[in-house]
């Protein structure tokens, strides 16, 4: 017989919380799979020198593999723990908060991929903050307002998702789409295209 001490935390989960938890679990496992696929070549690349960008990229790929293994373990753990919890209308919906964070982080990642300045012609010089097209220069177009707008929408949207847990059927696809867009673009831009 058990000691008779009951846990203070309720073990039941709301239908909204269960749906959000399953979505978070699938996103973790899917993101880990994307990291493994994108960094696989870098992990097994043979480098000639002991110190080179090749070695740094291979080491980074190794660290990403550990991160991916941790994400898979968390995703499987969440999925299994949800299977053991009773679904009750008055249960916990904490995983809806995770969807809000996922939405905000996804849009922040999208904002990081957009360049701050762009040139109609020539190339952008970071030091001078000018568009260089010899023999002349020109002012770049600033995209900072777009980046800030995306971040504000991400934070406000994430907060709105957490405030309305009953709307999880609408917020869950938006959160997953924002994460796939942000994380997918980041993985493609850093590991695939520049690999």
Asked whether the predicted pLDDT for residue 16 surpasses 80, the reply is: yes
Q: In terms of pLDDT, which residue wins out, 89 or 24?
A: 24
The predicted pLDDT at position 89 comes to 86
The pLDDT confidence band at residue 7, using thresholds 50, 70 and 90, is very low
Q: Which tens digit of pLDDT belongs to each residue from 160-186?
A: 999 999 999 999 999 999 999 999 999
The overall pTM is greater than 0.85: no
The predicted pLDDT at position 3 comes to 42
Average pLDDT rounded to a whole number, residues 74-85: 93
The pLDDT confidence band at residue 22, using thresholds 50, 70 and 90, is very high
For the chain, which residues make up each domain, given as ranges? 15-192
Asked whether the predicted pLDDT for residue 145 surpasses 60, the reply is: yes
Average pLDDT rounded to a whole number, residues 76-81: 94
The predicted pLDDT at position 88 comes to 87
Residue with the two structure tokens 């058990």: 2
Q: In terms of pLDDT, which residue wins out, 8 or 37?
A: 37
The pLDDT confidence band at residue 25, using thresholds 50, 70 and 90, is very high
Average pLDDT, the chain: 88
- CB contact set of 41 (below 8 Å; sequence gap of 6+): 195
Percent of the chain with pLDDT over 90: 55
């Amino acid at each position: 017989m058990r000691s008779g001490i009951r846990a203070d935390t309720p073990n039941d989960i709301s239908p909204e919380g269960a749906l959000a938890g399953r979505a978070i679990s699938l996103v973790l496992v899917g993101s880990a799979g994307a990291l493994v696929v994108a960094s696989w070549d870098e992990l097994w690349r043979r480098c000639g020198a002991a110190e080179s960008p090749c070695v740094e990229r291979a080491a980074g790929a190794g660290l990403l593999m550990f991160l991916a293994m941790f994400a898979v373990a968390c995703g499987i753990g969440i999925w299994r723990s949800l299977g053991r919890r009773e679904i009750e209308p008055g249960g916990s919906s904490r995983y809806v908060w995770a969807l809000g964070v996922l939405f905000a982080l996804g849009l922040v990642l999208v904002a990081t991929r957009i360049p701050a300045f762009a040139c109609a012609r020539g190339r952008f010089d970071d030091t001078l903050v000018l568009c260089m097209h010899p023999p002349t220069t020109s002012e770049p177009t600033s995209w900072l307002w777009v980046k800030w707008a995306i971040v504000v929408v991400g934070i406000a949207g994430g907060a709105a998702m957490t405030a309305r847990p009953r709307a999880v059927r609408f917020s869950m696809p938006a959160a997953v789409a924002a994460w796939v867009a942000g994380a997918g673009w980041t993985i493609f831009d850093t590991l695939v295209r520049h690999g």
